[in-house]
């Protein structure tokens, strides 16, 4: 379900917890976890077929990949992805996008401008190089309001942002630094619900593979982005909130770990975690939630843009599927971010109207909408009505 209840049984529409991918307390997922708990929770891999079944089902959704490595969190997955890239390429450095957040272990904090640029005790190391976030609304190559709806203008901005990555590569080559990975979220959430131009990642991949053939590309949701990643990390939502994560890659890359170190994770891929993932994948397919998300995205786009046209405080709305952001501004001409309004609205929506939403982005002015996939048209229209 897409609702939460407090101790007084007050109902809230959940517009923010996409970790519960197929809904809170989904019966199929809960029953699958409970059944496996009664059978076996042993971490010894040879006593259960769940790990193999789970890996096979994930790989069915990822053409071109043949290897899954399990762990317990997105932070672990991203840390392992960096290790794979370094071991395979024999290079050391990484390129990340500004405002990115990749996790809470030391290495992933070092990869996260969202953290090290905002008072974190862990600072940017010399092996991390930050490229501009491909934000076409308030980034380096910002577009006018009319251009934001022009595919050619968006594509041109994507090319310019990709050239910034190429510039970093060229500068590092001159200083004899080697790049192991371009590490990016396909959709930035902490960065302000950013949807990069469709051609951006393809251009980055084309430029880098042309001149740095050993460099690898890490990405999360890469479908429809016109390129193929070498390593994909996934966490949080694949277990509907149960602690599980995974790294998808190819055998030739996974084999680079080798030696006596290899890779083993005591709880990674345990039977209960795999039961959760298998159930989530089953619900996604049975309930046709991918298609549902695409259809909901069209309604979000239409209704949120209607709000934008009515209210001067909305500078931009952007998103895809069930992933949307409302960029609040003090004035539309200068696009001055309005953090105070964002904080006021999140509190008001929760306390008075029972709508759970959050604010984020580099200026904390973007309302984030990313509900569970079972979020309905009725829920959406109720939220829009309250927004009005």
14 has pLDDT over 80: yes
Give the residue from 80, 84, 77, 89 showing the smallest Cα distance to 180: 89
pLDDT in tens, 251-288: 999 999 876 667 888 899 999 999 999 999 999 999 99
> Between the CA of residue 308 and those of 104, 291, 328, 378, what are the distances in Å?
35, 26, 10, 20
CA–CA distance, 28 with 283 (Å, rounded to integer): 8
- pLDDT in the model for residue 266: 87
Domain 31-286 part of CATH 3.30.40.10:
no
Structure tokens at 64: 């071109």
Sequence ranges of the domains in the chain: 3-22+288-387, 31-286
State the chain's mean pLDDT as an integer: 91
Structure tokens at 302: 């239409």
Give the residue from 129, 130, 110, 135 showing the smallest Cα distance to 121: 110
Supply angle C-alpha 192, 196, 198, rounded to 5.
Answer: 155
CA 145 from centroid of its chain's CA atoms: 26
Helix (H) and strand (E) counts for the chain? 12, 14
pLDDT in tens, 201-260: 999 988 765 333 333 333 334 455 567 789 999 998 999 999 999 999 999 999 998 766
Under the banding of pLDDT at 50, 70 and 90, the label for residue 85 is: very high
CA–CA distance, 162 with 134 (Å, rounded to integer): 8
Structure tokens at 128: 């991390």
For the chain, the first-to-last Cα distance in angstroms comes to 25
> Which of the pair, 186 or 330, is modelled with greater confidence?
330
Domain 3-22+288-387 part of CATH 3.90.1150.10:
yes
- pLDDT in the model for residue 225: 58
CA–CA distance, 124 with 181 (Å, rounded to integer): 16
CA–CA distance, 118 with 124 (Å, rounded to integer): 11
DSSP 265: -
Residue 82: strand, helix, or coil:
helix
Give the residue from 247, 240, 263 showing the smallest Cα distance to 77: 247
pLDDT in tens, 20-56: 999 999 999 999 999 999 988 777 777 788 999 999 9
Torsion of CA 224, 228, 231, 234, to 10 degrees: 10
- pLDDT in the model for residue 224: 55
Supply angle C-alpha 86, 163, 365, rounded to 5.
Answer: 90
CA–CA distance, 240 with 84 (Å, rounded to integer): 26
CA–CA distance, 149 with 308 (Å, rounded to integer): 14
Structure tokens at 99: 């405002």
pTM of the model as a whole: 0.92
CA–CA distance, 356 with 89 (Å, rounded to integer): 44
Transcribe 53-77 into DSSP letters: HHHHHHHHTSTT--EEEEESSHHHH
CA–CA distance, 183 with 17 (Å, rounded to integer): 24
1 has pLDDT over 80: yes
Supply angle C-alpha 62, 233, 21, rounded to 5.
Answer: 80
Torsion of CA 12, 18, 24, 28, to 10 degrees: 150
pLDDT in tens, 122-178: 999 999 999 999 999 999 999 999 999 999 999 999 999 999 999 999 999 899 999
């Amino acid at each position: 379900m897409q609702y939460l209840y407090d101790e007084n049984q007050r109902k809230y529409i959940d517009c923010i917890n996409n970790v519960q991918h197929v809904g809170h307390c989904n019966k199929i997922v809960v029953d699958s976890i409970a059944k496996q708990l009664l059978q076996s929770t042993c971490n010894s891999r040879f006593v259960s077929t769940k790990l193999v079944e789970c890996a096979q089902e994930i790989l069915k959704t990822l053409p071109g990949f043949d290897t899954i490595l399990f762990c317990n969190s997105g932070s672990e997955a991203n840390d392992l992805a960096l290790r794979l890239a370094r071991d395979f390429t024999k290079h050391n450095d990484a390129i990340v996008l500004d405002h990115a957040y990749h996790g809470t272990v030391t290495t992933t904090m070092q990869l996260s401008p969202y953290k090290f640029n905002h008072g974190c005790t862990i600072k940017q190391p010399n092996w991390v190089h930050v490229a501009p976030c491909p934000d076409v609304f308030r980034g380096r190559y910002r577009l006018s309001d009319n251009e934001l709806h022009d595919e050619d203008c968006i594509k041109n901005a994507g090319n310019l942002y990709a050239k910034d990555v190429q510039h970093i590569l060229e500068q590092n080559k001159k200083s004899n630094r080697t790049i192991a990975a371009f590490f990016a979220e396909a959709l930035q959430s902490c960065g302000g619900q950013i949807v990069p131009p469709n051609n951006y990642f393809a251009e980055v991949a084309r430029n880098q593979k042309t001149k740095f053939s050993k460099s690898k590309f890490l990405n999360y949701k890469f479908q429809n982005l016109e390129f193929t990643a070498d390593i994909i990390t996934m966490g949080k939502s694949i277990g509907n909130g149960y602690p599980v994560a995974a790294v998808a890659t190819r055998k030739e890359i996974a084999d680079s770990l080798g030696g006596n170190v290899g890779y083993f994770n005591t709880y990674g891929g345990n039977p209960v975690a795999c039961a959760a993932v298998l159930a989530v994948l089953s619900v996604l397919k049975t309930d046709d939630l991918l298609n549902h998300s695409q259809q909901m995205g069209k309604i979000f786009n239409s209704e949120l843009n209607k709000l934008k046209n009515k209210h001067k405080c909305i500078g931009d709305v952007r998103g895809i599927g069930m992933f949307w952001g409302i960029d609040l501004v003090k004035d539309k001409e200068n696009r001055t971010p309005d953090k105070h309004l964002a904080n006021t609205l999140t509190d008001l929506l929760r306390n008075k109207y029972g709508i759970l939403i959050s604010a984020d982005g580099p200026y904390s002015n973007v309302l984030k909408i990313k509900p569970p996939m079972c979020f309905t048209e009725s829920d959406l229209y109720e939220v829009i009505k309250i927004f009005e």
